[in-house]
Amino acid sequence: MASVTYVRQGEFLFKQGDVADAMFIVKTGKISLLITDGISQKEIDTASTGQLIGEMPLFDKKLRSAGAKAIIDSVLVQLPYKKLEDELVQMPEWVQAVLKKLSEKIREANNKILSDNKTP
pLDDT score for 40? 82
Residue ranges of domains in the chain, CATH in brackets: 3-118 (2.60.120.10)
pLDDT of residue 1: 73
CB 97 within 8 A of CB 103: no
- Comparing CA positions, the residue from 88, 90, 10, 89 lying closest to residue 55 is 88
pLDDT (average), residues 54-70: 91
- Residue 48 CA to residue 58 CA, distance in Å, equals 21
For residue 118, the model assigns a pLDDT of 60
Please report the pLDDT score of residue 24 as a whole number.
Answer: 97
Task: Report angle CA 90, 15, 54 to the nearest 5 degrees.
Answer: 25
- Residue 74 φ/ψ, nearest 5 degrees: -135, 150
Longest dimension (CA), the chain: 47
Spatial separation of the C-alpha atoms in residues 78 and 80, rounded to whole Å: 6
Secondary structure of 6-21 in the HEC alphabet? EECCCCEEECCCCCCC
Euclidean distance between CA atoms 28 and 40, whole angstroms: 28
pTM recorded for the entire structure: 0.78
